[in-house]
Amino acid sequence: MNKIKNYNDFSSTLEKVDFFDKFNEILNKLKNWIGKHYWIYWLLILKKANKLPEGVNVYCPESYASLSDIKEMNSIELKELKESFGEKSEYVPLGSTESTWNVPEVDSVELKENIIDIYKSKIEYLEKKEADPKKPIYMGSQSAFIWGASGVGKTEILNQVSRELDIAIITIHLSQRDPSDFKGVPYTEFLGKTKVVNQKDQQNEREQKRTKWALPAVFPRTNGKNKKGGILFFDELNTAHSSILDASLPFIQTGKIGTSYVLPDHWIIIAAGNRKEDVQKKLAMDPILFNRFQHITYVPIAKNTVDYFKSKNINPDIISFLSDEKYQKYLHRKHKYNKDPNWTSPRRWEEASDDDYFERGEDWNKELSKKQLKEIYWDHLGEDTARVFADYVEEKNIERRKIREENAKKMKEKMSKNKNKPDEEEKEKDLDMELKK
C-alpha cells in the first residue's frame, strides 16, 4: 500500500495513470481555487468515484465531498467536470439564487398545496372567529410571494388553484400600474344645498360637497356569487416602480385603502416576481414589504411539467423529449448573458407546440422536415434547443418510418399468403386486424 503524504507524492502517482492525463487543467484550477492542499480534496473525489490508482487508498467518512453528481467519472465530459468544481455555468439556474436568498424550493404540486393551505387557513380562521368572537385564534400566513424564473408557469398554477377551489382570481400587473391605483383618484361628491344667512341677514344657498377617492374597478367589492372570495394576484411585484410599491404597502399590510375600501374577507393576496437574474433591470423591495409575505421559490421539475403537457394538446415528441433525463436540462434554459433573445421555458415549449400544430395542419401524425422543425422552434426556444430537439425528432421519425415499413411488409406477406383463400376468411382476417389496431 502506497502512503501519500504530500502533493508531490500524489502528483507523481497520478502521472503513472493515463486516465488522469486530461484532467491536468482541472488540477491546476483546484490548486488556485483551494490552495496548496487542493490535492487532498481531489484525492477524496477520486475515492468517491472509485478511481483511485491501484494500491492507493484513503480513509474518510461516508459523507465527505459535496460533488454527488460525479457518479461515473469516465462518462463525464471535461466541461461538465469543470462545472462540478464550481466553475460558473453559462445558464441561469432554476432554483434559489443570490436574489432569492435561502428560501424553500417547491415544485408545482407543493406550490399548489401551499396556496390552497393559505386559502383554507383563512376560511377556517373566519369560521372559528364567527363561532366564538371572544376566543383568541391563531391565524397562519394569509399571503405568499412566489419567486421563480420567467416562463415557468407561476400564473398557470394559480389559475389551476382557482379552478380546483372554485374561487375567483384577479391578476394585477404592478409594473403596469400607477400609484393612484392604491390611493384612488380624487373626485367631488355633491351632498345637496343648505341655506346660510350672511352678515346682512340675507339667505343664500350653498352647495355641500366632499372629496372622495375613486378606486379602479379591478379591486373586488364582494366575495362573489358563491361567497367563496378568491385570489388577488400581484404579478411582477418586485419589478414595479418604488412609488407603486410604497403606495401598495398599506394595502398589502392591512387589506385597506384609506377609509373607502376594504378587501372582502374571503380573499387572499398572492404576489410573484422574477429574480434579478431573469430581468434586465435593478430590483429593489422595501424590507417591510418583503416581511409581509411567506416566501417560496418555485422550481418546476420535468415530470410535473410533462404531466401537465399530457393534459394539453402538446406535441407528443415534446413530451417524450422532456421525459428523457438526458434532455431535461432543456426544460428551462436561459443564457446568463442573453446571447440569444429566444430561450427555453415551459411556457415557450407550449407556444412552440401551438405553432407546430398549426404548421402540420392540426395533425400530429404529419411529419415535418428537420429544417422546418428547427425554424419553428428556433423562434421560441433559441438556436441551441431548437437544433437538439430537431435532431431528436428526426431520429424518432426514422424509427417510425422503419416501423411503418416493417408493418407494411408484414401486411403484404399476409395478403400474399391469403390470396387463394375464400372471401369470407379474408374478411374475418381483416376484421381481426382492425380490432388489434
- What's the chain's length in residues? 437
The pLDDT, as a whole number, for residue 62 is 45
Task: Determine the pLDDT at residue 389.
Answer: 95
Distance CA 136, CA 181 (A): 35
Q: What is the pLDDT along the chain (437 residues), one digit of tens a residue?
A: 444 444 444 455 444 444 444 455 555 555 554 444 455 656 666 666 666 666 666 655 444 444 443 333 333 344 444 444 444 456 666 665 655 556 788 889 999 999 999 999 999 989 888 888 877 766 666 789 998 888 888 999 999 999 999 999 999 988 888 887 787 777 777 777 776 666 666 666 777 777 776 777 788 999 999 999 999 999 988 888 888 888 888 888 888 887 778 899 999 999 998 877 776 665 666 777 778 888 888 988 889 999 999 999 999 999 999 999 899 989 988 766 556 677 888 999 999 999 999 999 999 999 999 999 999 999 999 888 999 999 999 999 999 999 988 988 888 888 877 665 555 555 556 655 654 55
CA dist., res. 64 & res. 44, Å (int): 8
Q: How many CB atoms lie within 10 A of CB 295?
A: 17
pLDDT score of 422 = 54
Q: At what angle do helices 302-310 and 346-359 cross, to 10 degrees?
A: 30
**Residue in the block written with cell 400600474:** 177
The upper half-sphere exposure of residue 63, i.e. CA atoms within 13 Å in the direction of its Cβ, equals 0
Name beta bridge partners: 173. 235
Q: For the whole model, what pTM was predicted?
A: 0.66
pLDDT at 212: 72
pLDDT at position 187, please? 72
Class of domain 105-182+219-298: alpha beta
Q: Which residues contact 97 (CB under 8 A, 6 or more apart)?
A: 275, 276, 277
Residues 6+ apart with CB under 8 A from 210: 188, 189, 191
Residue 72: the pLDDT is 36
- Alpha helix segments (H runs only) across 360-382: 370-381
- By CB atoms closer than 10 A (0-12, 13-18, 19+), residue 269 is buried
Q: Which of 66, 57, 106 is nearest to 86 (CA)?
A: 66
d(CA 376, CA 364): 15
- What pLDDT is stored for residue 215 in this prediction? 73
Distance of CA 235 to the CA centre of its chain: 14
Nearest C-alpha neighbor of 185 from the set 257, 114, 245, 113: 257
* pLDDT for the residue 190: 74
CA angle 179, 230, 110 (to 5 degrees): 105
> What's the DSSP call for residue 416?
H
Domain locations along the chain: 7-84, 105-182+219-298, 302-413
Residue 301, C-beta contacts closer than 8 angstroms, at least 6 positions apart: 107, 108
Which helix or strand (DSSP H or E) is residue 346 part of? helix 346-359
Q: d(Cα 115, Cα 97) in Å, to the nearest integer?
A: 22
User: Residue 17's pLDDT is what?
Assistant: 45
- State which amino acid sits at residue 232: L
Distance CA 332, CA 335 (A): 10
CA distance 118 to 108: 16
- Which run of H or E residues covers position 254? helix 242-254
